[in-house]
Amino acid sequence: MGKNLIQQRRGKGTPRYRSPGHRFIGKVSYQFLPKEVKEGIVLDIVDAPGRTTPVAVVDFGGQKFLQIAHEGMFVGQPVDFSEAKEGNILPLKEIPEGSKIYNIELVPGDGGRLCRSSGTFAVLTSREGKKAVVLLPSKEKKTLSAQCRATVGTAASAGRLEKPFMKAGSKFYAMRALNKLWPRSRGVAMNAVDHPFGGQTRPGKVKSVSRHMPPGKKVGSISPRRMGKKKRKA
């Protein structure tokens, strides 16, 4: 008898696939910034096992705010919304061009979406009117509203990927802390009874699937607009 697909087991919501709340000390978002207080101080820098970066606890006049720590942040460091210094939070329109930034909002007020993992940063390349162009780590240039907020600097823990895991067990527990499923078997490596891609006797099986198929069949290219490589224009 075959087994359920990964997406079927995830959908049931068993403890194996639930995000463990105790590994997250709180939500890190600009939405919780106090509006009346303009200056704070870093009280502590704590480890958040569910994240790849440490989290700084900032005190804004008695109100605690969680912020993704930047490279070089220290306890007692002031944080404000006026000057473009490392660790300060500003809208893109007030950050000088060429500055390194992280935890960038996609839409003004969404709390921060881009460049939140360890060691990542984007570069504010240019501004024109109400728009700002940001160069992401993927080398993609993204045009955002100049009202979007970001933190000046580089996200902490830049050397996290430099140390090899060496053992499969170390990798397993690191992924477990991040609530990632690892290791993950390829569908083509399974038996035909366990996955729609399984069975080595049919390597040329079509992987396009109708949008109206049941969840257990929705693997591969779901209702694709086209298949195959694009032909180069002469």
- The CATH H-level superfamily of 166-222 is Ribosomal protein L2, domain 3 (4.10.950.10)
The topology (CATH level 3) of 19-70+83-158 is SH3 type barrels. (2.30.30)
Q: What is the pLDDT of residue 232?
A: 76
φ/ψ (deg, to 5) at 173: -70, -30
> For 132-147, what is each residue's pLDDT tens digit?
999 999 999 999 999 9
5-35 residue pLDDT tens: 888 888 888 888 887 888 888 999 999 998 8
Contact (Cβ atoms closer than 8 angstroms) between residue 166 and residue 113: no
Query: 172-203 pLDDT, tens per residue?
Result: 999 988 888 899 998 888 888 888 888 876 55
Query: Where do the domains of the chain lie?
Result: 19-70+83-158, 166-222
Task: Determine the pLDDT at residue 203.
Answer: 59
pTM over 0.85: no
Averaged pLDDT, 79-104: 95
User: Mean pLDDT for the chain?
Assistant: 91
- pLDDT above 70 for 115: yes
